[in-house]
Amino acid sequence: MKELGKIIAKNRKANKMKQGELAKKLEGYDIFVKQNTVSAWESGSTQPSARQLLAICELLDIYDVYTEFIGQNPINPFRNLNEEGINKVLDYIRLLEKSGDYKPAEIIPIHVVRERKVFYTTVSAGTGSFLDGEDYEMYSSPDIPEEATFGVHISGDSMEPRYHNEDLVWIEQTEQLNDGEIGIFYLDGNAYIKKFQNNGKGTYLISLNKKYDPIPITENSSFKIFGRVLS
């Protein structure tokens, strides 16, 4: 397998896009990272999640993911053709499309209904409250992200304007987050939804609402990452 970070960097530069611009465009996919996270991906010190990688591929026009990241695609029908042969195949495809006789059958989408735990205890977006691992109900919906492990409700306004009081958010359980990602955290007896800052300036839990101060995490803190916010 090829080096993932170098491939991301190569395609980003080919698209004349800066690392910060890529991070900004990822927000359109509900992925919130900073420039230094993209830098960490490209250097190989961390790797994007599957969801993040798919969004990166779409933004950087990487359509043949297998060939780009692994090598020659064994099911690529063009793999044994030169440029002239490929052009002839494409001409024939255009003729078939123009005829209208070979349109694919209409596909009726099937909405997969997923079931996940939703905890009764709210996660405070202001002062924080402990996430009780046993106090939950089961929730079923086709809108639950595939990566979601559980859901929680928000209490407070410190993550406005993106998240509001009583919003239901879905969480991918993980103990590791990149700088700039939004997650669910345990800190000194309380549970929070915050943006994770972990860089040269220190480690903090950051509110999106500017009226709230950053919460520092020190070596004396009792701290745990519950997961990554997906929605």
What pLDDT is attached to residue 4?
86
Residues near 118 by beta carbon (within 8 Å), at least 6 away in sequence: 136, 137, 138, 139, 150, 151, 152, 153, 168
Q: Give the pLDDT mean for 48-52.
A: 89
Output the average pLDDT for the chain. 86
Give 77 or 132, the one with higher predicted confidence.
Answer: 77
Label residue 116 by pLDDT band (50, 70, 90). Answer: very high
What pLDDT is attached to residue 201?
84
The CA radius of gyration of the chain, in Å to the nearest whole number, is 22
104 pLDDT more than 90? no
199 pLDDT more than 90? no
222 touches 192 (CB < 8 A): no
Q: Give the pLDDT mean for 106-127.
A: 78
Q: Give the pLDDT mean for 116-136.
A: 67
128 pLDDT more than 60? no
What is the percentage of the chain residues whose pLDDT exceeds 70?
A: 92
137 pLDDT more than 50? yes
Residue 187 CA to residue 123 CA, distance in Å, equals 12
What pLDDT is attached to residue 133?
57
What pLDDT is attached to residue 1?
52
Q: Which amino acid belongs to residue 115?
A: E
Give 65 or 165, the one with higher predicted confidence.
Answer: 165
Residues near 26 by beta carbon (within 8 Å), at least 6 away in sequence: 32, 33, 52, 55, 56, 59
Residue 74 CA to residue 78 CA, distance in Å, equals 10
The CATH superfamily of 1-106 is: lambda repressor-like DNA-binding domains (1.10.260.40)
Domain with CATH 2.10.109.10 in the chain: 114-229
Q: What is the pTM of this model?
A: 0.54
Report the helix count and the strand count for the chain, using DSSP H and E: 6, 9
What pLDDT is attached to residue 130?
47
Domain with CATH 1.10.260.40 in the chain: 1-106
Ranking 59-73, 90-104, 157-171, 193-207 by mean pLDDT, the lowest is 59-73
What pLDDT is attached to residue 2?
64
Candidate CATH numbers 2.10.109.10, 3.30.1200.10, 3.40.50.1370, 3.10.129.10; the one for domain 114-229: 2.10.109.10
122 pLDDT more than 80? no
228 pLDDT more than 90? yes
Angle at 80 between CA 88 and CA 73, to 5 degrees: 110
